[in-house]
Structure 1
Amino acid sequence: MRLGSDPAEALMTLVPDAWEGRGDLDPSVRDFYRFQSTRYEPWDGPAALAFSDGVIAGAALDRNGLRPLRYQVTDNGLVVAASEAGVIKLDPAHVIERGRLGPGQLIVADTSDGSILRDAEAKERVARREEFGAHADRLLHPVPRKWIDSDVVDLLAGLQRVHGWGNEDVKIVVKAMAETGLEAVWSMGDDTPIAILGRAPRRVYNYLRQRFAQVTNPPIDSLRERFVMSLRVVLGPRVSMTGVPARKPAPPPLLDLESPILGAGELKRVLEDALVLDATFSEAETLRGALERLREAAEAAPDGILVLSDRSTSRHRLPVPMVLAVGAVHERLLQSGARFRKDLVALAGDAVDVHDVAMLISAGAAAVHPYLGFATARTVLDEGSEPQDAENAYRKALESGLLKVMAKMGISCVASYCGAQVFEALGLGAEVMELCLPGVPSRVGGADFSDLEAVIREHHAAAWTANEPPPDRGLVRFRKLGEWHAHNPIAVRQLQKAARSGDVAEFQAYQGLADMGRPAALRNLLDFKPAAEPVDLAEVEPVSAILPRFIATAMSLGALSPEAHLALGLAMNSVGARSNSGEGGEDPDLYAGNGPRGDNRIKQVASARFGVTPRYLLRADELEIKIAEGSKPGEGGQLPGVKVTSVIARLRHAQAGQQLISPPPHHDIYSIEDLAQLIYDLKAINPGARVGVKLVSEAGVGTIAAGVAKARADYVLISGHDGGTGASPLSSIKGAGVPWELGLAETQQVLVANRLRERLTVRTDGGLRTGADIVKAALLGAEEYGLGTMLLVALGCDMARQCHLNTCPTGIATQREDLRAKFEGRPEHVINYLSFVGEEVRTILASLGARSLDEVIGRVELLHQLPGSQLDLSFVLEPTPADQPRRRLWPRNGDPAPLDPPSGPIDNSHRTLGASLSRRAVEAGERSVREYEGSAGQSFGAWLADGVELTLRGEANDYVGKGMAGGVIAIRPYEHDAAANPVLAGNTCLYGATGGRLFVAGRAGERFCVRNSGAVAVVEGAGDHFCEYMTGGAAVSLGLVGSNLGAGMTGGVAYVRDWLGLNPDSVVARAVPREDSEELRLLLSEHAARTGSRLALELLADWRNALAGFRQVVPAARVQAPPDPVDDPQVGDRILEGERGR
């Protein structure tokens, strides 16, 4: 603003709309955004922003529109905007407008002339101040995608070896990408050592771990909300804005690229304007010396595009790890103030997969050309395949994967991701970090330049002896001469022998195989300090007191076979422990039996809300909100279509045979406050259940855990990066999150320091196998312990890693009936294993002089680091104050929600209305009718059940009808409301609903019917993402809807009068088939009867013509042939009249 912009222009510049993906913007506004993209990278939300300079005042939302922002305008010119409805009470008779802001929108009130500018008018006023289109055309030189033959790479195998490639990189990683255009999918997690502890040499990328958003901001759904994201790159020198007039153009040329992944065609154009810097070094030079040389050369180079290239790698020149080269140059240019004037491009032979490319861009490269990846892609397909197809597919996989990695952090645009360094290092020492990545956490130190250089020289020496394929290092699959795997065949067979026999000697034999004789995990670097006076084993609490602390970690019915899922539940329940349902729901038939309890005492609530119904929630002893999972944090759960049988589809309220990928975010959790609301919602429906939150270990997770405690959770789970999975992208399994030891230690320290530890239980999981692992977790602060893969091994899993293929040979992770028949696991096998672990825990406690686990929780002083490691675990071993509680003392963290009030006036402090009524409806069959008036708080009608009817005269906030399974909600305007077409409901209505009916005689916000699985709704207009990822039910809109209509929709049906925002990749719009027209008419009739809707009555009065203006929206996959049209000549011609908006 000090450079001449008013607040509206400043916000449009820094927090722009998703203009690249929107087709409804005025051309002048698009030109404004295009010009400003040459000057600033966009800021992401979630954010609702208010602004004023004393003359104008206004509010705006970020491009994703995740925050609610409601406004009212009165007949005397008062404008009230706030984060929810009902903040200030106004007489409805004087409110002439009840509105809301959508993604990227703003509203401006100008006190100089009394005008109120809505979104389009406000933006156009800013955009037409100058010829921004002419400025942008002069500055930007578009570089279209143009495929040309890549340069031939001589001695391909040798170069692969010198750059650290392995056979699996070629045969599994690149081959899958070149064949399918998608990343390789794998299963069962990562059971290899972290990079610095492995026996197989690793590339530097393997020391870097992706970070991800958890609670405090959400990840983005890059699959279904792709249009808000952008890979567009502007390459070239900019000038500093300091002291420059706000709209002064930057000097040309700037190259305008569709993507940071450069093919040979774009690279050729880039090189015309670039200076190439050699990122290799001679045998006489050192790695550090080469990096220093690169930094100096970059600083001395003229402004423009600098290409860091390792193409000069040869028998006599060694490659600099490209991520270190990029990081070192990026940092030097920042220090010298030249970074804005010099863009970096990486020509990298060591970049193989999505993780590698993402790390290069996050480290500072604006664009990447993985030339060995392209060359390899051409060689892995069958003979006769076109090289162009292979390269295009490989590039497509890299781009979609890069979007996913960005989305994990909640970053929409690659321009914002470039140089942000949103990753952490695991196993890199201080000298490496200080020179190359000084802003990146590396909490335990590790390898220095000499260590990394030794690996480079080893690879280089081996590469030129023969042009042989790169070695199979066994980093993905177990190989006898490859990397060590915790679940290697010998260890697996030994554990199964122990579990089946119940013989403790067999388990002791397994313990001898539980590590490779050298540390494989951080906890292996720690050892116990025996007490001077151990206690007698007979004095230690019995195994029966220890087993209830064990958790069978979340594994869904769908990922597991029904038989394996049931065996886990029976085993854990029989010993007083707990099993977790995972995110697939449960068969309600399990709730009715009189025999041993087989359902899971912990019910998971995940982002897709599969199987979450009031009955499911009420059956739980604990309810777990899964924010992230260790194998793919920042992404949603994944169930391949071949495993979605009719039974699984019924339990998940989805379509058989359809792949199910959960949204990365919970659409009702965009902040700690939202998490607190969901916890409140769950305690409202089931006051007796403990509510917990699952997080994944990363730097900063302790602060998030403190927020979880303040949000009134009863426990927090810290998962490690190495947890098992039924299906995950391989780059996520190998590249995201960190060990639980780091996250658990940080969580304990933060909770104790902030006097929050006594409020909640701390739980951990991820690769736990032995009693020693359990006690070390206890000493670091955990009271409860999750075991997953080990329980499956006890049941017979042989680690075939075919879970994602539905071909599990032991019947554990498959839905095929012929394979399920081979399942031989028994609950007793799990019980035997847990008993062995419990007995080992007792033995260790006795040696520590403790009589119970409670005595050692948080007693980190009883651990010490073994000598001989490069890693420094002092962070993990940092003691907490002895005078502060180290474990949970409170019986509950917060009180359950109050009972629902009787009919009458309410305000926005009345939240989750209807939940207690639904509880009584499910448990006792009670029927209830409530009529309210006012501004309802969040989650009005959440978890509604059959037999409950809620009527609201007024307005509601976000999450109306969340998770409802039955009953009726009707919302109508205030009796004397003067507003036309008012907004009466907020965002994310009917999220995860499985039944019931909702009628809103007004407009609603974003993501109406997101993940609807069975509810029926009528609304009179809604925002973006209408019916996103809907799998069942019906939704009718009588008014305008926003962009991305039906994205990811695989079931159900929508009826709309405005279909311009349709997502053509997911759905089609067609004339309403004759056989469905009566259903639509009856819905409008019920809507009119329940809400008094004038619009519905008008449409019904002229039904023949009104029907012609509707379109039926259905999943594209469902449409075989065009249905018979309604017999009306106007079909297909009518579009809603009036100004189109969002």
Structure 2
Amino acid sequence: MTLTQPPQAQGLYHPQYEHDACGVGFIVHMKGAQSHSIVQQGLTILVNLAHRGAVGAEANTGDGAGILLQMPHRFMAKVAAAEGITLPAPGHYGVGFFFSSPVAGDREKGRRLFERVVQEEGQTVLGWRDVPTDNSSLGETAKASEPFMQQVFIGRSADLANDQAFERKLYIIRKRAHSAINSTGVDPYLYATSLSCRTVVYKGMLTPEQVGLYFPDLADSDMESALALVHSRFSTNTFPSWERAHPYRYVAHNGEINTLRGNINWMYARQSMFESELFGDDLQRAKPLINKEGSDSGIFDNTLELMTLAGRSLPHAVMMMVPEPWTAHESMSPEKKAFYEYHACLMEPWDGPAAIAFTDGTMMGAVLDRNGLRPSRYTVTKDDLVIMASEAGVLPIAPENVAYKGRLEPGRMFLVNMDEGRIVSDEEIKQQIATENPYREWLDQHLVKLGDLSEATDPAGVNGNGKDPVGAQHAVPLPNPTPLPIAQTAFGYTFEELRLLLKPMAENGVEAVGAMGTDTPLPVLSNKPRLLYDYFHQLFAQVTTPPIDSIREAIITSADTTIGSERNLLKPEPESCRLINLKTPIITNAELAKLKNAGESGFPSVTLPIVFKAEEGEAGLEAALNGIFASADEAIAAGTSLIILSDRPIDAAHAPIPALLAVAGLHHHLIRNGSRTRVGLVLESGEPREVHHFATLIGYGCGAINPYLVFDTIEGMIADQLLPPMEFDKACQNFIKAVTKGVIKIASKIGISTIQSYRGAQIFEALGLNQAVVDQYFTWTA
């Protein structure tokens, strides 16, 4: 750890809790006219957003503030010449802004290593510049971790055809240099705020007022730009640092990405499949592509940058990551709905309250989360300025100069196209992007709905009675059905659960109503056996994340998910949506039978038993888990699309492995192997029956769950008149409806709108479990 980074996990603190709630704003000249006044007005906006940032115990130590500008060529040429460096024309050189070690020897070693990487990538280091700073206004805490500021000038090679090709090369250089310098530890402070031929970022652990004072560069009249993106950081519950100040390289963000842990896991797993014609072999040398130790905003920026440089337009990539609520949107155009449905097969939403401003130096835009949980106001002037910020009034504008004002609406995008000199409406930009490819045609050809899979005879019988013949291939033969009372005993069912929990769910499709709170002891302190789910507690919205009303705001929620084998995220093609669509992750026995038989439709499956020899105890359990992981690896290598984990083979000698342990353990095993996105995980288990059980299973990556013993129990309750006379199928659908609504309600409490985002997000803390178990099977759980 260096003083520029947050501390290691300790006590109630963990670095993964690093979130931001801040003030963000920008000013841009619609026609692209560069001027120093834009820089000064950007700093004015920043100062007027100071109350949205924060300071520490010292009033002069800020959580972070900064400004992103277009490359100011006149200024850079002047300061480079002062160092004896002659810069080529704009676009033919890049500027890297680096935090570096205050120790000259460490800094020099870092420079030499960086220069070696640049040379290996076929580019030329034109020279270095020490950036002047004035820290007289900084507090002692900020000074104690203050890095040395330097800039590097890199010449573009003749074989790079355009600016975007050069940006990709600079990206590879930055990634390679970061990995090389970090691994050797020669400069523990080293961090690139920007490395681009289009933009430069001045930022630090500063207050908004200190940015202009700390960087004298910004006061130079030759510092000109057509845009300025500014940010005042409030690090909620976390530590400020120089690195985590905004803006990042593409975005400034106000809000929280609550699905971050899942987004990171999925992106990390997808890396093994990344290939790009634009990057070629360079991409493999740049891994890891996502900085797992970054803040939510930083990791969002990493992903957006990668997808943009790999070929998508910046607005296209933003639409993928922050989609509108489209599933229940009746008035949305068919083309746009098809766009979102197709891209939902490629990537889960980055969900949570967020106002995000984004730029690549050629355009400026902003997007609001689907719930509109962060404010964003804009003003357009008659002299072609566009000002947007977290609140109105951040820049004094004469009333007679105001052309019009407005606010960014939930899920909407605002884009200033400087090449065309105009604001592009949300409808226009999204319709243009949505019609670039025939997404509806691709979906109709390749996306398979669960209901459209060929009918299969249920291996366990539609009612779980085992009378029908096996209609699918299995890794192990199905056992004789266990009598219902014995199965219920094996999985710990109680009469109270039947009467108080299952009855209202099966009868009315709603969760049971009970008193708030519980006086039962924590599982680790209880003298009664408890299921593994009970050791996990759902994290809740803290400080800045308003919960969603999943009943009154149902239009923005969605239970739709997909399972199957994903393809290369960086190369979208018609077959990228070759997945199975589920309206809910809770499935009936008949639907499970369809999945087991889905090989006929191009989705080969394998069923792995999740049982262990009871007499072998802990050693037998661990060995069985390792066997499951090895079998899964073999199945994936053989081309399996679906892995079904089943505890049906229980008997007197074989006990069920806790379903959550099997699911989470396999999920993280496959993430570490880089193969998680190659397969969908399905669970066939008698264990889950409460909403919390299903929430934890989905939260740890399970794509579909068949609670077969619940359905058997419901059938028994109807026969025993514990339920009123009703159709068995209706009772099962009621139960599924209650669970689905319950999971959506749980997700909504932390501001997550879709089950697809919630899947794998593991928004839980474990209480009472051995840390070694958590690290191995529930990796990155608090």
TM-score by length of 2: 0.54
What corresponds to 1:108 in structure 2? 415
1:251 is displaced (CA, Å) by 4.8
1:17 is displaced (CA, Å) by 0.4
Matching of residue 276 in structure 1 with residue 607 in structure 2: yes
Cα distance in 1, alignment partners of residues 425 and 400 from structure 2: 22
Q: Map 1:951-966 onto structure 2 (within 5 A).
A: none
Q: Deviations over 1:105-162 (max 9, x none)?
A: 0111111111211111111111122222222223311123999943226411110110
Secondary structure of the residue that 2:580 maps to in structure 1? strand
Name which of 328, 339, 345 aligns with 2:682: 345
1:314 is displaced (CA, Å) by 1.9
What corresponds to 1:164 in structure 2? 492
What amino acid is the match of 1:137? D
Name which of 358, 362, 371 aligns with 2:695: 358
Matching of residue 62 in structure 1 with residue 369 in structure 2: yes
Secondary structure of the residue that 1:239 maps to in structure 2? coil
Cα distance in 1, alignment partners of residues 435 and 402 from structure 2: 32
What corresponds to 2:424 in structure 1? 117
Matching of residue 408 in structure 1 with residue 739 in structure 2: no
What corresponds to 2:579 in structure 1? 254
What amino acid is the match of 1:276? T
Q: Deviations over 1:166-214 (max 9, x none)?
A: 2222221111211221111112632221112212211111212111112
What amino acid is the match of 2:531? R
Secondary structure of the residue that 1:21 maps to in structure 2? coil
Cα distance in 1, alignment partners of residues 423 and 360 from structure 2: 15
Q: Deviations over 1:390-440 (max 9, x none)?
A: 111111110111111111221111111111111111211133223211211
What corresponds to 1:1100 in structure 2? none
Cα distance in 2, alignment partners of residues 332 and 138 from structure 1: 33
Secondary structure of the residue that 1:59 maps to in structure 2? strand
1:383 is displaced (CA, Å) by 5.6
Is the Cα contact below 8 Å between 2:351 and 2:752 reproduced in 1?
yes
What corresponds to 1:229 in structure 2? 557
What corresponds to 1:382 in structure 2? 723
1:298 is displaced (CA, Å) by 1.3
Secondary structure of the residue that 2:642 maps to in structure 1? strand
Cα distance in 1, alignment partners of residues 374 and 575 from structure 2: 34
Cα distance in 1, alignment partners of residues 597 and 516 from structure 2: 46
Name which of 626, 634, 647 aligns with 1:310: 647
What amino acid is the match of 2:543? V
Secondary structure of the residue that 1:112 maps to in structure 2? coil
Unaligned runs of 5+ in 1: 442-1142
Is the Cα contact below 8 Å between 1:145 and 1:266 reproduced in 2?
no
What corresponds to 1:21 in structure 2? 328
Cα distance in 1, alignment partners of residues 781 and 610 from structure 2: 22
Matching of residue 298 in structure 1 with residue 632 in structure 2: yes
Cα distance in 2, alignment partners of residues 57 and 136 from structure 1: 32
What corresponds to 1:666 in structure 2? none
What corresponds to 1:187 in structure 2? 515
Cα distance in 1, alignment partners of residues 577 and 631 from structure 2: 23
1:48 is displaced (CA, Å) by 1.0
Is the Cα contact below 8 Å between 1:107 and 1:122 reproduced in 2?
no
Greater RCO, 1 or 2 (C-alpha within 8 Å, sep 6+): 2
Q: Deviations over 1:586-638 (max 9, x none)?
A: xxxxxxxxxxxxxxxxxxxxxxxxxxxxxxxxxxxxxxxxxxxxxxxxxxxxx
Secondary structure of the residue that 2:505 maps to in structure 1? helix
Cα distance in 2, alignment partners of residues 287 and 329 from structure 1: 14
1:10 is displaced (CA, Å) by 0.8
Identity of aligned residues (%): 37
Cα distance in 1, alignment partners of residues 415 and 597 from structure 2: 45
Is the Cα contact below 8 Å between 1:377 and 1:394 reproduced in 2?
no
1:96 is displaced (CA, Å) by 2.4
Q: Map 1:346-745 onto structure 2 (within 5 A).
A: 346-380=683-717, 381-382=722-723, 384-441=725-782
Change beyond 3 A, Cα 1:223–1:389: same
Name which of 170, 174, 186 aligns with 2:502: 174
What corresponds to 2:14 in structure 1? none
Cα distance in 1, alignment partners of residues 488 and 419 from structure 2: 67
Is the Cα contact below 8 Å between 2:364 and 2:417 reproduced in 1?
yes
What corresponds to 2:260 in structure 1? none
1:252 is displaced (CA, Å) by 6.2
Name which of 438, 441, 447 aligns with 1:140: 447
Secondary structure of the residue that 2:327 maps to in structure 1? helix
Is the Cα contact below 8 Å between 1:39 and 1:250 reproduced in 2?
no
1:248 is displaced (CA, Å) by 3.0
What amino acid is the match of 1:346? L
What corresponds to 1:794 in structure 2? none
Matching of residue 87 in structure 1 with residue 418 in structure 2: no
Cα distance in 1, alignment partners of residues 388 and 539 from structure 2: 34
Cα distance in 2, alignment partners of residues 53 and 206 from structure 1: 46
Matching of residue 288 in structure 1 with residue 595 in structure 2: no
Cα distance in 2, alignment partners of residues 295 and 14 from structure 1: 31
Cα distance in 1, alignment partners of residues 442 and 310 from structure 2: 18
Cα distance in 1, alignment partners of residues 405 and 516 from structure 2: 51
Is the Cα contact below 8 Å between 1:344 and 1:364 reproduced in 2?
yes
Cα distance in 2, alignment partners of residues 165 and 61 from structure 1: 45
Q: Map 1:1096-1115 onto structure 2 (within 5 A).
A: none
Q: Deviations over 1:1099-1137 (max 9, x none)?
A: xxxxxxxxxxxxxxxxxxxxxxxxxxxxxxxxxxxxxxx
1:66 is displaced (CA, Å) by 0.8
Secondary structure of the residue that 1:352 maps to in structure 2? coil
What amino acid is the match of 1:417? Y
Cα distance in 2, alignment partners of residues 383 and 33 from structure 1: 42
What corresponds to 2:352 in structure 1? 45
Cα distance in 2, alignment partners of residues 396 and 261 from structure 1: 9
What corresponds to 1:264 in structure 2? 589
Cα distance in 1, alignment partners of residues 745 and 611 from structure 2: 31
What amino acid is the match of 1:355? H
Is the Cα contact below 8 Å between 1:349 and 1:373 reproduced in 2?
yes
Cα distance in 1, alignment partners of residues 724 and 558 from structure 2: 35
What amino acid is the match of 1:151? G
Is the Cα contact below 8 Å between 1:262 and 1:367 reproduced in 2?
yes
Aligned residues: 438
Secondary structure of the residue that 2:712 maps to in structure 1? helix
Name which of 339, 353, 362 aligns with 1:32: 339
Cα distance in 1, alignment partners of residues 683 and 696 from structure 2: 11
Q: Deviations over 1:734-762 (max 9, x none)?
A: xxxxxxxxxxxxxxxxxxxxxxxxxxxxx
Is the Cα contact below 8 Å between 1:307 and 1:345 reproduced in 2?
yes
Matching of residue 155 in structure 1 with residue 454 in structure 2: no
Cα distance in 1, alignment partners of residues 741 and 503 from structure 2: 16
Unaligned runs of 5+ in 2: 1-307, 466-480, 599-604
TM-score by length of 1: 0.37
Matching of residue 319 in structure 1 with residue 632 in structure 2: no
CA RMSD of aligned residues (A): 1.9
What corresponds to 1:216 in structure 2? 544
Q: Deviations over 1:974-1011 (max 9, x none)?
A: xxxxxxxxxxxxxxxxxxxxxxxxxxxxxxxxxxxxxx
1:249 is displaced (CA, Å) by 4.0
Cα distance in 2, alignment partners of residues 284 and 216 from structure 1: 50
1:320 is displaced (CA, Å) by 0.5
Is the Cα contact below 8 Å between 2:346 and 2:577 reproduced in 1?
no
Is the Cα contact below 8 Å between 1:145 and 1:265 reproduced in 2?
no
Cα distance in 2, alignment partners of residues 121 and 251 from structure 1: 26
Cα distance in 2, alignment partners of residues 221 and 392 from structure 1: 23
What amino acid is the match of 1:404? K
Change beyond 3 A, Cα 1:154–1:408: same
